[in-house]
Amino acid sequence: MMATLSVVFAVLAAVSNALGTVLQRRAALIVPQSDGFRLRLMWDLLRTPVWFGGILGVIFAAVFQGLALVSGPLAVVQPIFVLELPFALLISGLVFRKRMSAGGWFSVAAIVVGLGTALSSAAPSGGSLQPPGALWLLALVSCGGAMVLLAGAALKRPVGPARAACLGTAAAIGYALTAALMKSATDTLDHRGVGAFFTSWQTYAFAAVGVCALFLLENAMQAGPLVASQPALTLGDALISLSLGVTLYSESVRTGWWLIPEMLGVGLVLVGAVGLSRLDANARPATDANATSDANAGTDPRPGTDARLVAEPQGQAEREDSAPRAETVHHGPTAVRQDVSGPA
């Protein structure tokens, strides 16, 4: 019964986080673009109303995630968050009335089947309630060091897929570590009460790491296309959480020949994640000259418009004055075509 409840809460957390992702992506494309990390990005987002809707989704996701971690192993709960990606595409399609393509439904099926195959084959179980301090130190140093290295590598690269992948992976590590800390904190709340919860170092650690992961995620969304950042975020969170469940909480998974269907399931999830991330991501990036022209004009990008992803078919530039111009506007992981100028 407890295992079933943990799965239900984990699915609800994935749905809430998907809604939050759609709204956060929308907000990230409204605020001004920058080539480097900007603490001001968070201030810009705070002045964007749609961002608060995204944060509300994240808050509900955290509540459901905590309930799931109280009743289930980390190695079960976090991999279910892979479902966030197809849920995000489905929610975005409903909100913006965009029909999912046949390829999109195939990718969704690949993720669902792959996740079910991997989890049923691994069958995570057991584990301790509170890891020893030495293991916590090792996990914090390893995960924190990896996040710093990946963020540093991202800063050395221009805006594009490589930068987005580095930041997406760093955010995935942060979210996996946040979940591990949250599991310990919620167990303290469940067994020792509110007072112990607010005096536990894990409570403040998961809040701090979670804020860092959110900051990395917002920058990953601005750094490049979702096809680069989302698979790294989706799979990275699941695989690192599985590793932390085994090493920190002594949760057990099947090995031996079970590794074959487990790897097959992971492969299907990867295929589905990449497929969904590529949906409507074939727009040709705008040239630097166009971006510079917008900047010199002193105008900010229109709300909801990603100036980096403006698409204009080749050979039609000379007809720009005689036909409506179309831009690819990304709402969450999907894109819709919008006419932004009427006839001349």
Q: In the prediction, which pLDDT does 302 show? A: 35
> Rounded distance, CA 94 to CA 103, Å?
17
Percent of the chain surpassing pLDDT 90: 14
The radius of gyration computed from the CA coordinates of the chain, to the nearest angstrom, equals 21
One DSSP character per residue, 105-130 reads HHHHHHHHHHHHHHHHHH--B---SS
At 57, the pLDDT band (50, 70, 90 cuts) reads confident
Task: Please write the tens of the pLDDT for every residue from 141-198.
Answer: 999 999 999 999 998 888 888 888 899 899 999 999 998 999 899 889 888 888 999 9
The DSSP element (H or E) to which 289 belongs, if any, is helix 288-296
Strand partners, 329: 336
Q: 113-149: b or e for each residue (b if 16 or more CB lie within 10 Å)?
A: ebbebbbebbebeebeeebeeeebeebeeebeebbee
Three-state secondary-structure class, residue 339:
strand
Quick one: which of 19, 18, 40, 22 has its CA closest to 31? 40
